[in-house]
């Protein structure tokens, strides 16, 4: 009897940890993330994210990040999965998808981290690497903060460091 219960428990755990099903569920969440990003609905992404995510960053900071992504790159378009990792341990099931996404004005390499399985998948981490986005950010930053010319600087506020040698 005990042996049958253990086999049934093991079969249930294996079914819950099916990496193919995990990746498919996570992919659906990525598509939903992009739909919400394109619609400017950062609040829905934030609200549906996991507690770990909401504790790690403020809603305002996350909205600024998504706003920067959308302003710099435009709407998310085609996205393809370039990597997947599913890890189950005593703290739960974690699925990481690496995506290559084409936006209106460039590409982004995104990493999405989810916790849970099935309908309980929650976003717990997000990262994007995009040279085009960084170029746009730096261009905007440079436009906003032009350095003062030499004649405009006050002598009192300019720090001076003097290095001397005892030789």
pLDDT of residue 8: 45
Q: Classify domain 19-141 at the CATH class level.
A: alpha beta
Summarised one tens digit per residue, pLDDT across range 68-123 is 999 999 999 999 999 999 999 999 999 999 999 999 999 999 999 999 988 899 99
End-to-end Cα, the chain, rounded Å? 88
With a CB cutoff of 8 Å and minimum separation 6, the contacts of 105 are: 72, 73, 74, 132, 136
Is there a contact between 73 and 130 (Cβ–Cβ < 8 Å)?
Answer: yes
Cα separation, 58 vs 82, in Å, equals 29
């Amino acid at each position: 009897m005990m042996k049958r219960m253990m086999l049934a428990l093991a079969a249930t755990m294996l079914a819950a940890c099916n990496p193919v099903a995990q990746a498919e569920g996570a992919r659906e969440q990525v598509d939903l993330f992009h739909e919400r990003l394109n619609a400017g609905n950062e609040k829905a992404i934030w609200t549906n994210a996991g507690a770990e995510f909401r504790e790690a960053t403020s809603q305002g900071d996350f909205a600024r990040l998504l706003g920067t992504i959308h302003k710099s790159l435009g709407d998310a378009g085609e996205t393809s999965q370039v990597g997947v990792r599913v890890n189950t341990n005593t703290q739960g099931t974690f699925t990481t998808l690496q995506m290559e996404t084409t936006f209106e004005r460039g590409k982004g390499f995104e990493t999405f981290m989810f916790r849970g399985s099935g309908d309980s998948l929650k976003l717990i981490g997000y990262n994007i690497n995009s040279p085009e986005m960084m170029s746009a950010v730096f261009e905007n930053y440079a436009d906003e903060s032009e350095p003062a010319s030499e004649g405009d600087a006050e002598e009192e506020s300019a720090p001076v460091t003097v290095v001397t040698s005892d030789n």
